[in-house]
Structure 1
Amino acid sequence: MKAITKKYKLLALMAGTLWLTGCSDFLTESDPSNFTVENYFTKPAHARSSVNAIYASLRDPMGSGFGGGTWMMTEFATGLAGTDLGQAVNSYFIKDLQNTSDNGYGVGYWSSYYKGIGNANLSIAKIPAITMDETEKKRVLGEAYFLRAWYYFNLVQMFGNIPLVTEPINLQSEQLYQSPSTAEQVYALIVSDLKAAEASGLPWTDVSGKVSLGAVKSLLAKVYLTMAGFPLKKGNEYYDLAAKKAAEVIDSKQFKLFSTYADLHDPAKKNIEENIFMIQYKTQVTPSNWQVSIIPYNKNISAYSDETGGIYALGDFVKSYATGDLRAKEKQFFYTTFTNESNRNLSVDLGGYFI
């Protein structure tokens, strides 16, 4: 009997050991049908899709509704915009120049753009190892460099000294706890990224809305112009660099000003001529919800959108345009009247200047 007991104890110990091993293996096994950073970047389509993901963060701050919208932060900070949307408290904080680190608009820009930077860092690190056409590889990397520069350029202008994250990160990464870099260091990366994009073989224009050489050179001109002034104050050398880079865009003959102001509102003019680089939307696929915030408060003019009066131009701003400037002409850029939703023959006074 004692021998049998010992035998079963041995079998139980062996079964327990097998169960523990099997359980451990099961818990650590990765799902082969699931994409991870380690198994994703293996073919050309992955390079394209990873770069496409970088663009998505361009749209994130552009959403708006009854709580206002992140994009309004830079408008209200000028003191030239008004709102009738009482519950959009972030708008009032910005209008009163009471902008703290917990303001939702600032958090929106910060989180969205660093997400874009994170995706750009991943593409820049992983795409070089993919076996694919080298010309196409350079181009998609050029898009990634441009977009990283675009995000950093906007962040450094809004927030000053910011963390400079240039590598893919995880919870063990040192760059996850990066100290703020100086504006000089951030601008140095921006210029370096744009020069890399400039040399990547991108076409001058791209009607699909992807990054083009025209967009790269235009942004680089704007960066140089900004570096010439506050806060870096690099002066005449950088004003000259900005002028020369802008001249390259003009002299390319790839772009031109619209012949009429109405062309700005024409969907057929998307991504061409005067439009050098645009954030992309698509009706019923990726729609924009700006209308909710830019339509006057409860004037009964819209058949499709809520009317919040979230943001509009103050009269002093509109009156600042020079005589004859079409932007100040009624229904060119701003509307002071519109038609009633149920009777389009009835005119409604909007009580202000609305987009």
Structure 2
Amino acid sequence: MVSCSGFLEEKPKTFLSPSQYYTSENQIQAAVEGTYEGLSRLLGSDLEIATVRLFNLEYIVGNSYRPRSAGSQENQFLLLSGMDENNSILREMWRAVYFPVENCNSVIENVEATDIVNDATKNRYLGQVYFLRAYYYFMGVQLFGDIPLKIEPTRDLASVQIPKTPKADIYNQIVSDLQKAEASGLPWTDDGGYVTMGAVKTLLAKVYLAMAGYPLQAGNEYYQKAYETSKEIIESGQFLLFDNYRDLRNINNENRGEHIFMIQREAQNAGSPFHFGLMPYPEVPISVNPSFGGGMAPLKVFYDSYDDNDQRKAEQAFFYTKRPKSGDPSTIISLNTPYLNKYWDDEAEKTSKSGANIPIYRYADVLLMCAESKAMADGGTTSDAAAIDAYYAVHNRAFPGASRPSSVTSDQVLKERFLELCFEFHNWFDMLRTHKTYDPASKSIVDLIGYKAPNHEYPFKESDLIFPVPLREKELNPLLAE
């Protein structure tokens, strides 16, 4: 290209620069909405289960398997068989951070500079984008550790090839962005699925909890911050636990009640791969469209670790072991192993397309963060009334009539998180920040390092807890190899 002179020079006729684009509120709103696209980057396609990269964050926990055969790259997560920097899944995870961040940087710069909308409207737009940039960076720093911090749009190669930033600085930037989002005037809830104050404060509580634990180990100050932030969400009175677990899958409950923030899907043009992707495989005639299945299922040892009177284990709550035959509901098909029911979409069985939203944050998560952070702040056990009430609300839904405890330990709460939030892509991040995990065989919380999960080839090592920077990214930016 450098040998070419003149004939490649052309005045662009269709390119729209940012200065030309942000000329109306409709354009500003469209740009802001574009920053949400990053939420679905790891979903892949609703036509091929191998492209659902998000599943790998559950595979690596070690309590699931893949009924449909996996390739070597998926097996590095499924079996914990050694992570290869050339694994393309890692690159997709990296791109799921930096493509959206670049978009957020551009929108923030241009919306901050506009005078087309009033300050209140501008702040609400910015609040959404600051939240999303924090969300993407939070995913990146947890998965990859020290990563480049870039908060301005790319203008030349000098702003692309930048070195890694210490993770503490990344966390400080995340907190700064979320504090700006807190001050932006966002509403607590929004039925349309936009970022809300509830989502902002939920993420902030998560960030504080992560900072308190590994790898920063900032300790009690941040456990207390996580407690106060999650308690603020509770005291807002804007959210509630659904009475029944099936309500979590009710399309009429999306973006409300227990659902604080969700990835928005639409059946025809932006479908969810989860319903059909989680079907049994090989083909079992329980679905109108079973051939896409085999993506992920719970190991039986994990399913069996739920007490028999735990309502989450009840048939078609979190799992199912039998289903009516598709087209012949009077015939019940029994399965020889449990399958995941959390993402079952009744509507998809009528239309052969799933448009069900995918939960990111729900209120049960907030309640358990409140209980865990206070238990940790108090030295591992707490008798704080708000923390106990928060834990008890989640536990009592699973065990109706259970007695309210007088105290609760951090390990009790962490176990409840593994049982309540399983297969919702939280458990791996909980393992990273606590260096603990749930052992389904003993039904107890154990130290992570040295623990061999049921589906893994070897016990966890410290080096397994940070994914390698993808080889292709190091080739593009040699500073990442340093």
Q: Is 1:62 the equivalent of 2:47?
A: no
Deviations 1:236-283 (A, max 9, x none): 111100000001100010111112211101000000011001110112
Partner of 2:317: 332
Match for residue 269 of structure 1? 253
Give the Å deviation of 1:322.
Answer: 4.2
2:61 aligns with 78
Of structures 1 and 2, the larger Rg is shown by 1
Match of 2:197 in 1: 213
Q: 1:201 to 1:307 in 2, by over 3 A?
A: same
Q: Distance in 2 between matches of 1:108 and 1:338?
A: 35
Which segments of 5 or more consecutive residues in structure 1 lack a partner in the other structure? 1-23
RMSD across aligned positions (CA): 2.0
Alignment correspondent of 2:124: 139
Match of 1:353 in 2: 338
Deviation, 1:202, is 0.5
Aligned-residue offset at 1:37: 2.7
Of the three residues 162, 165, 175, the one matched with 2:159 is 175
TM-score by length of 1: 0.88
Deviations 1:286-320 (A, max 9, x none): 21122332000011221134243121011122223
Q: Which residue of 1 aligns with 2:424?
A: none
Alignment of 1:63-212 (within 5 A): 63=44, 65-67=48-50, 69-97=52-80, 98-131=82-115, 132-170=117-155, 172-212=156-196
Once the two structures are TM-superposed, the CA of residue 140 in structure 1 deviates from its matched residue by 0.5
Q: CA deviation at 1:66?
A: 4.1
Structure 1: distance between partners of 2:336 and 2:51: 20
> What residue number does 1:11 align with?
none
Read off the aligned partner of 2:243 and give its amino acid letter.
Answer: S
CA contact (8 A) 2:284 2:290 kept: no
- Which one is further off, 263-272 or 289-298? 289-298
1:29 corresponds in structure 2 to 11
Give runs of ≥4 in structure 1 deviating > 4 Å. 24-27
Report the CA distance between 1:71 and its aligned residue: 0.6
Q: What is the alpha-carbon distance in structure 2 between the residues aligned to residue 165 and residue 44 of structure 1?
A: 27
Alpha-carbon distance in 1 for matches of 2:157, 2:187 = 36
Name the amino acid aligned to 1:249.
I
Which residue of 2 is the match for residue 344 of structure 1?
329
Query: Structure 2: which 5+ runs fail to align?
Result: 1-5, 341-482
Secondary structure class of the residue paired with 1:250: helix
Partner Cα separation in structure 1 for residue 28 and residue 185 of structure 2? 16
Q: Secondary structure at the match of 1:349?
A: strand
For the residues of structure 2 that align with 1:30 and 1:81, how far apart are their CA atoms? 51
Residue pair 1:149, 1:191 contacting (<8 A) in 2 also = yes
Once the two structures are superposed, residues 150-180 of structure 1 have per-residue CA deviations (whole angstroms, 9 ceiling, x without a partner) of 011111111111111111114x242311111
Equivalenced residue count is 331
Q: 2:214 maps to which residue? A: 230
Q: Structure 1 pair 323/87, CA: closer, same or farther in 2 (3 Å)? A: closer
For 1:18-72, what per-residue CA distance to the aligned partner results, in whole angstroms no more than 9, with x for missing partners? xxxxxx79954232x5422342122222221111111011012023524252011
More helix by share: 1
Which residue matches 1:52? 33
